[in-house]
Amino acid sequence: MKIQCIAVDDEPLALQQIAGYIRKTPFLELVAECRSAMDALTVIQNNPVQLIFLDISMPDMSGMEFAKSLTGKPYIVFTTAYSEYAVEGFRVNAVDYLLKPVTLANFLKAANKVKDLIELTATSQKESLRATADYLFVKSEYKLVRIVLDDIKYIESQHEYLKIFLINTNPVKTLLSMKTIEEQLPKNRFMRVHRSFIVNLSRITVIERNRIVFDGKVYIPISDQYKEKFQEYIDGNFA
């Protein structure tokens, strides 16, 4: 398992240090190094980021403000030179707090905390999902709900929940991650096109300006990370 993460710090040397630690850690994968919160936001919008090593004291938007603004809620490990931020950091559900200068030992301790949380969550979620070639059973509001795969139009990530949109019935909301459900769906029938969306390829009828349109009113963006793979599918099936 590789945990996809980014490092965010406006100080070049501090950013270089954290990025270097990430590269040395076997279970971490560095997606990007960001000099500001806005740079980080651009990366997150186009990539599935699970963990952010985030400096608190940055110009324009502080790390604390940035963490509060996030909707996908990746895991956060704050880095700062000021210990007085620790209490506020834990109020936004940060996993850990690293005081600069950050040692490799303390970095690894924080990274392992995140790894343990992700593995625990994945185990719990697998117990909430059963799949066959034709349908899924998912937990929703204390019930097991049977979902026929052909009835799925698309799946949207909403914070820690997923919303499964279906034909001719109301969406089903379930406490699962995109990664967990993506692993259970047949890859020849479903494709992730954005960090927040998986689509049923057989239900696509309209594509407009790098967006998939459902029901004439729902526009699902195709992000840069998945654009090439999606285009290959289009070229291979509709040439």
Tally of CB atoms within 10 A around 117: 13
76 and 48 inside one domain: yes
What domain range includes position 198?
A: 129-238
Position 52 scores a pLDDT of: 96
Q: Range with the lowest mean pLDDT among 38-42, 89-93, 143-147?
A: 89-93
Q: CA-based angle 29:63:110, to the nearest 5? A: 45
Is the Cβ–Cβ distance between 129 and 137 less than 8 Å? yes
What pLDDT, in 10s, does the model give residues 3-19?
Answer: 999 999 999 999 999 99
What's the confidence (pLDDT) of residue 178?
A: 87
Same domain, 208 and 112: no
- By three-state DSSP, how is residue 58 classified? coil
pLDDT of residue 125: 63
* Cα–Cα–Cα angle for 225, 67, 27, rounded to 5 degrees: 55
* Residue range 172-193: mean pLDDT, rounded: 89
What pLDDT sits at residue 58? 87
Return the CATH number at 189.
Answer: 2.40.50.1020
Instruction: Say what the pLDDT of residue 203 is.
Output: 93
Q: What does the pLDDT average to over 198-207?
A: 93
Residue 131 has pLDDT above 70, yes or no: yes
Last residue of a domain, one of 77, 110, 125: 125
Tell me: do 222 and 234 sit in the same domain: yes
The per-residue pLDDT for 85 is 57
Asked whether residue 137 falls in the same domain as residue 233, the answer is yes
State the pLDDT at residue 88.
55
- Asked which of 107, 125, 143 is the last residue of a domain, the reply is 125
**Range 59-62 contact pairs with CB under 8 angstroms and sequence separation of 24 or more:** 59/10, 60/36, 61/36, 61/37, 62/37
Looking at residue 68, which CATH number applies to its domain?
Answer: 3.40.50.2300
Do 168 and 118 belong to one domain? no
In Å, how far from its chain's centre is CA 16?
Answer: 24
pLDDT at residue 124 is higher than 70: no
Cβ–Cβ contacts within 10 Å for residue 135, how many?
14
Residue 192 pLDDT exceeds 70: yes
When mean pLDDT is compared across 85-89, 108-112, 140-144, the lowest value belongs to: 85-89
Q: What is the pLDDT of residue 128?
A: 63
Quick one: 176 and 194 in the same domain?
Answer: yes
pLDDT, tens digit, for every residue of 88-121?
Answer: 545 567 888 899 999 999 999 999 999 988 877 7
Of 99, 125, 151, the last residue of a domain is 125
Q: In this model, does residue 205 exceed pLDDT 60?
A: yes
For residues 118 and 12, state if they share a domain. yes
Distance from C-alpha of 125 to C-alpha of 105, rounded to nearest angstrom? 30
pLDDT of residue 106: 95
C-alpha dist (Å) from residue 157 to 9, 54, 227: 27, 23, 19
* 140 shares a domain with 105: no
Q: Which residues of 20-57 are buried (b: 16+ CB within 10 A; e: fewer)?
A: ebbeebeebebbbbbbbbeebbebbebebbbbbbbbbb
Residues 63, 176: one domain?
no
pLDDT in tens, 225-236: 899 999 998 888
d(CA 73, CA 68): 9
**87 shares its domain with 138:** no
Q: Count how many domains the chain has.
A: 2
231 contact partners, CB below 8 Å, separation of at least 6: none
Tokens 């109301």: give the residue.
Answer: 170
User: What is the average pLDDT across 51-63?
Assistant: 89
Q: In this structure, what is the dihedral angle of CA atoms 176, 71, 224, 1, given to the nearest 10 degrees?
A: -40
Determine the pLDDT at residue 176: 85
Q: What band does 73 get if pLDDT is binned at 50, 70 and 90?
A: confident
Same domain, 78 and 108: yes
The Cβ of residue 186 has, within 10 Å, a number of other Cβ atoms equal to 11
Q: Are residues 18 and 77 in the same domain?
A: yes
